[in-house]
Amino acid sequence: MTTIYDSIRPIVWRNNKLYLLDQRILPKEYTEIELLNAQQVAEAIRDMVVRGAPAIGITAAYGVVLAAAIRHAEDPANWKQLIQQDIKVLAASRPTAVNLFWALEHMQQKIDAIDGNPFEILKTAADKILQDDIDANIKMGRLGAQLIAPGSKAVLTHCNAGALATGGYGTALGVIRSAFSDQRIEHVYADETRPWLQGARLTAWEMVQDKIPVTLLAEGAAASLMKQDKVSWVIVGSDRIASNGDVANKIGTYALAVLARHHGVKFMVAAPTTTVDMQIAHGDAIPIEQRSQDEVLSCGNTRVAADGAAAWNPAFDVTPAALVDVIVTEKGVVENPTTEKIAAMMNA
């Protein structure tokens, strides 16, 4: 029997409140944070209580549900107007993941069509965004795993594109879960992912929860890993895919794609269609979040850099489509992505 490796849910709606697993303190502590309004939700996204493109979008959708309940109770005649300031606050939380803007636009369309009390309709819409994301990840997991030859031994991933970064199951880690379950791979290498350590803290934790053997490395070690023929694929997620197939993802992804091409290692991007931005012609147009210098100058909360040094801390980079061997979405597999192939996949 196939084992389903899927035990983690980072976003939970309970008793009319939103609960997020606090990813800032995992794996040391497993703590949920309770959120009551859009302002708190936006802060949680900005502070990385929740992170990862699909998870940010789902969380923002529940932020709209909380806001609608408050605004409708406050002024039933004008709630649609009042909620616009909440949607603006949510939209300003983080700039790169297009799933955030997709989810807010989707909820706005529901709002436009509501006549009467908005709560049930918006809550149902947010639940559906969450469930659709999990379903998409399971599909992508199967499609992506089929590309990995049985006996491939190990793959390399970067950042955390797992259950924690989504509604559940994960994008890149969904492919890895599925490939491990199919016995196509035995092992996962995970970049620690400086400066926020999503790999060391979150990906490693997820893999351990699901009993998938995981080995961490500093991203500077990835070239040697590939040179020694230890991995057949690099598998990553994405925060935004431009309509030509350029891929924004965690800083360091571009370097991995260059290394993979040099060493003949295949490069796979797994992302739901909610991550594809058909409004953007190429990756140069993707807004890249710059985060605080302190994240680089410190490790944990301890300052490690020499006093007086500055730091450059872009949170994401863009991998050109030409370095991507395959993009996997819930709608299908796009090999050697081009504008035409991405459009055909989106319209499928």
Residue 254 Cβ vs ligand MRU, minimum distance, rounded to whole Å = 12
- The backbone torsions φ and ψ at residue 188, rounded to the nearest 5 degrees and listed phi first, read -125, 135
Of 178, 232, 238, 274, the residue at the interface with ligand MRU (CB under 6 A) is: 238
Interaction mask 295-324, ligand MRU, x per CB under 6 A: --------------------x---------
Q: Which is nearer to ligand MRU, 243 or 249 (CB)?
A: 249
Residue 200 Cβ vs ligand MRU, minimum distance, rounded to whole Å = 13
The string of DSSP codes covering 326-340 is: EEEETTEEEES--HH
Q: Which stretch binds ligand MRU (CB under 6 A): 28-36, 46-54, 124-132, 292-300?
A: 46-54
Residue 239 Cβ vs ligand MRU, minimum distance, rounded to whole Å = 5
Interaction mask 68-107, ligand MRU, x per CB under 6 A: -----------------------------x----------
Buried b (16+ CB within 10 A) or exposed e, 153-184: ebbbbbbbbbbbbbbbbbbbbbbbbbbbbeeb
Three-class SS state of 251: coil
The secondary structure element, H or E, covering residue 247 is: strand 247-250
Residue 263 Cβ vs ligand MRU, minimum distance, rounded to whole Å = 21
Q: Which is nearer to ligand MRU, 59 or 238 (CB)?
A: 238
Cβ of 14: how many Cβ atoms within 10 Å? 9
The secondary structure element, H or E, covering residue 317 is: strand 316-319
Of 219, 239, 246, 330, the residue at the interface with ligand MRU (CB under 6 A) is: 239
234 near ligand MRU, judged by CB under 6 A = no
Of 18, 44, 54, 233, the residue at the interface with ligand MRU (CB under 6 A) is: 54
Q: Which is nearer to ligand MRU, 111 or 253 (CB)?
A: 253
Residue 289 Cβ vs ligand MRU, minimum distance, rounded to whole Å = 8
Q: Which is nearer to ligand MRU, 51 or 331 (CB)?
A: 51
Q: Residues 245, 239: contact at Cβ < 8 Å?
A: no
327 near ligand MRU, judged by CB under 6 A = no
Q: Residues with catalytic annotation?
A: 239
203 near ligand MRU, judged by CB under 6 A = no
269 near ligand MRU, judged by CB under 6 A = no
166 near ligand MRU, judged by CB under 6 A = yes
Interacting residues of 21 by C-beta distance below 8 A, sequence separation 6+: 8, 9, 10, 11, 30, 31, 32, 50, 164
The residue ranges of DSSP E strands in 138-208, in sequence order, are: 153-157, 185-191
Three-class SS state of 259: helix
Radius of gyration over every alpha carbon of the chain, rounded to an integer in angstroms = 20
d(CA 9, CA 6) in angstroms, rounded, equals 9
What is the chain's length?
348
Residue 158 Cβ vs ligand MRU, minimum distance, rounded to whole Å = 7
Residue 16 Cβ vs ligand MRU, minimum distance, rounded to whole Å = 27
Of 63, 237, 252, 337, the residue at the interface with ligand MRU (CB under 6 A) is: 237
Sheet-wide strand order for 326-329? 214-217, 185-191, 153-157, 233-236, 266-270, 326-329, 332-335
Q: Which is nearer to ligand MRU, 157 or 243 (CB)?
A: 157
Of 106, 184, 201, 250, the residue at the interface with ligand MRU (CB under 6 A) is: 250
201 near ligand MRU, judged by CB under 6 A = no
CA dihedral 147, 151, 153, 155 (to 10 degrees): -10
Interacting residues of 188 by C-beta distance below 8 A, sequence separation 6+: 154, 155, 156, 157, 176, 180, 203, 207, 212, 213, 214, 215
Q: Residues 137, 129: contact at Cβ < 8 Å?
A: no
Residues that bind ligand MRU (CB under 6 A): 51-54, 97, 159, 161, 165-166, 171, 198, 237-239, 249-250, 315
